[in-house]
C-alpha cells in the first residue's frame, strides 16, 4: 500500500491539474481511483486531504467550466465520495455539490440519470476543438462573438462602398441611401453585442478579513528617506512624518489607516495603482475568474492565428 506522504503528493498534483481543461477529466478519474483504493483505510489527516481536493473540484466547476462532460465527471466524483465520507458536515456539503451538478445537467426531474456511473458518460464529455463529441461545444467567448460581428459589419461596409464607387452614375442621393442602409444594418448588429452578462459588475468593497489583516508599519527615518522628503498620504495629501502609523497594501503603497478605511469601505482597490484586493462577494470573484480565463483564451487564439501553429485544416 502506498505511503500517506506519496498519496498526499499525488493529491497535490491532481489538484494542480484541475485548473487545466485538457487534464480535468483525467484528474477526476485518477482521484476516483485513489478514493476507492485508499480512502476507506486512510488516516483522518489523509481523509481531510481528499476532501479538500474534492471541494476544489466543486469550486473549479462553479467558476470556470460549463461543458456537460466536466460536470458529469464531477457528479460521479461527488456521489462516490458521498458514499465513503462519514463526517456529517462533509456529507452535507457533498449533498449540496451533487444538487448543484444535477441542476447544471438538468437532472432534477429524472433522478435515475444521476445514479448512472460516471464511466457511462466517459464518451459524452466535451473534448476539445478538432475532436469528435456528441455533446454540444461550450458557447464561444463573448470577445470572439463581438469580433466576428465587427468583422461582418466591416465587410458589409467595404462591399457597399466598392459597389457605390464602381457605379458611374452614383448620385449623392444614392450614396445617402447606401449609408442609411449600413446604419440600419449596424443597428441590427449592435444590440446583439450588448449582453448584460458581459458588462463588468460594480466592484464591491474589499473583504473585511483582508482589510483587518493589512499590516500597519511605523515610519522610520530610513523609510522616510526612501520615500523622499515630499512623501505624502495620497488620500489626505498630508506630508508623512517620523513615527507616522501607515497601513500597507499588497502593492506596497501606504496610507494613514483612518484615511484608507473609508476608501476600502466602498472600494476594493488601491487608490494609487488600482491593485485589487479580494472581496466577500462570491459572484464578483467568480466573474473575475471567468474574465481571466476568457483573456487567456483570447491571447491563446491571437497567438495561434499569428503563428499559424494551431490552425485547423
In a domain, 55, yes or no: yes
Q: Are 245 and 257 in contact (CB under 8 A)?
A: yes
Mean pLDDT to the nearest integer, 240-264: 90
Give the pLDDT score at 119. Answer: 45
Q: Are 70 and 135 in contact (CB under 8 A)?
A: no
- Specify whether 12 is located in the same domain as 108: yes
Give the pLDDT score at 117. Answer: 45
Where do the DSSP E strands lie in the chain?
A: 216-218, 245-248, 254-255
In a domain, 112, yes or no: yes
In a domain, 136, yes or no: no
Mean pLDDT to the nearest integer, 144-148: 62
Give the pLDDT score at 57. Answer: 92
Sequence-distant (≥ 6) Cβ neighbours of residue 102 within 8 angstroms? 75, 108, 114
> What CA–CA distances, in Å, run from 242 to 216, 233, 239?
14, 13, 10
- Specify whether 70 is located in the same domain as 41: yes
pLDDT digits (tens, 9 = 90+) for 261-278: 899 998 989 999 989 888
In a domain, 222, yes or no: yes
Mean pLDDT to the nearest integer, 204-224: 90
Give the pLDDT score at 157. Answer: 60
Provide the domain limits for residue 157. 142-198
- Specify whether 37 is located in the same domain as 70: yes
* Residue 257 CB-half CA count within 13 A: 12
Q: How far apart are CA 172 and CA 174, in angstroms?
A: 5
Could you tell me which of 162, 152, 158 has the C-alpha nearest to residue 190? Answer: 152
- Specify whether 106 is located in the same domain as 14: yes
In a domain, 171, yes or no: yes
Show which of 121, 152, 169 is a domain's final residue: 121
- Specify whether 146 is located in the same domain as 109: no
- Specify whether 153 is located in the same domain as 190: yes
- Specify whether 11 is located in the same domain as 117: yes
- Specify whether 35 is located in the same domain as 93: yes
In a domain, 246, yes or no: yes
- Specify whether 47 is located in the same domain as 85: yes
Any idea what the CATH number is for the domain that residue 235 is in?
A: 3.30.40.10
Q: Are 24 and 18 in contact (CB under 8 A)?
A: yes
Q: Are 53 and 31 in contact (CB under 8 A)?
A: yes
Give the pLDDT score at 115. Answer: 45
pLDDT at 121 over 50: no
In a domain, 290, yes or no: no
160 band by pLDDT with thresholds 50, 70 and 90: low
- Specify whether 224 is located in the same domain as 243: yes
Q: How many domains does the chain have?
A: 3
Sequence-distant (≥ 6) Cβ neighbours of residue 274 within 8 angstroms? none
Could you tell me which of 271, 265, 295, 273 has the C-alpha nearest to residue 200? Answer: 295
Q: How far apart are CA 279 and CA 9, in angstroms?
A: 31
Give the pLDDT score at 250. Answer: 93
- Specify whether 68 is located in the same domain as 150: no
Show which of 87, 121, 155 is a domain's final residue: 121
Mean pLDDT to the nearest integer, 113-130: 46
> What CA–CA distances, in Å, run from 64 to 42, 102, 185, 200?
31, 17, 35, 17
Q: How far apart are CA 58 and CA 78, in angstroms?
A: 9
Instruction: Say whether 278 sits in a helix, a strand or coil.
Output: coil
- The values of phi and psi at residue 218, to 5°, are -105, 125
pLDDT, the chain, mean: 78
Mean pLDDT to the nearest integer, 93-105: 91
Residue with cell 462533509: 90
- Specify whether 151 is located in the same domain as 220: no
126 band by pLDDT with thresholds 50, 70 and 90: very low
Amino acid at each position: 500500500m502506498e505511503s500517506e506522504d506519496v498519496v498526499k503528493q499525488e493529491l497535490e498534483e491532481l489538484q494542480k491539474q484541475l485548473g487545466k481543461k485538457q487534464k480535468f477529466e483525467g484528474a477526476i478519474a485518477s482521484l476516483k481511483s485513489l478514493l476507492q483504493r485508499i480512502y476507506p483505510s486512510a488516516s483522518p489527516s489523509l481523509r481531510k486531504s481528499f476532501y479538500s481536493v474534492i471541494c476544489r473540484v466543486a469550486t473549479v466547476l462553479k467558476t470556470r467550466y460549463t461543458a456537460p462532460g466536466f460536470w458529469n465527471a464531477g457528479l460521479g466524483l461527488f456521489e462516490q465520495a458521498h458514499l465513503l465520507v462519514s463526517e456529517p458536515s462533509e456529507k452535507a456539503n457533498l449533498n449540496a455539490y451533487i444538487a448543484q451538478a444535477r441542476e447544471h445537467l438538468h437532472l432534477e426531474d429524472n433522478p435515475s440519470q444521476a445514479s448512472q456511473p460516471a464511466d457511462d458518460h466517459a464518451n459524452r464529455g466535451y473534448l476539445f476543438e478538432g475532436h469528435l463529441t456528441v455533446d454540444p461545444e461550450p458557447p464561444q467567448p463573448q470577445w470572439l462573438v463581438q469580433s466576428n460581428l465587427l468583422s461582418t459589419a466591416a465587410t458589409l461596409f467595404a462591399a457597399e462602398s466598392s459597389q457605390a464607387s464602381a457605379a458611374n452614375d452614383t448620385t449623392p442621393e444614392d450614396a445617402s441611401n447606401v449609408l442609411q442602409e449600413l446604419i440600419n444594418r449596424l443597428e441590427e448588429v449592435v444590440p446583439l453585442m450588448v449582453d448584460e452578462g458581459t458588462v463588468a459588475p460594480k466592484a464591491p468593497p474589499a473583504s473585511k478579513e483582508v482589510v483587518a489583516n493589512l499590516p500597519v508599519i511605523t515610519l522610520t527615518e530610513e523609510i522616510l528617506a526612501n520615500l523622499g522628503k515630499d512623501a505624502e498620504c495620497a488620500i489626505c495629501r498630508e506630508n508623512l512624518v517620523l513615527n507616522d502609523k501607515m497601513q500597507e497594501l499588497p502593492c506596497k503603497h501606504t496610507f494613514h489607516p483612518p484615511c484608507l478605511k473609508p476608501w476600502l469601505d466602498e472600494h476594493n482597490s488601491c487608490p494609487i495603482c488600482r491593485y485589487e484586493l479580494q472581496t466577500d462577494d462570491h459572484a464578483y470573484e467568480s466573474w473575475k475568474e471567468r474574465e481571466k480565463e476568457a483573456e487567456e483564451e483570447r491571447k491563446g487564439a491571437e497567438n495561434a492565428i499569428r503563428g499559424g501553429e494551431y490552425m485547423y485544416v
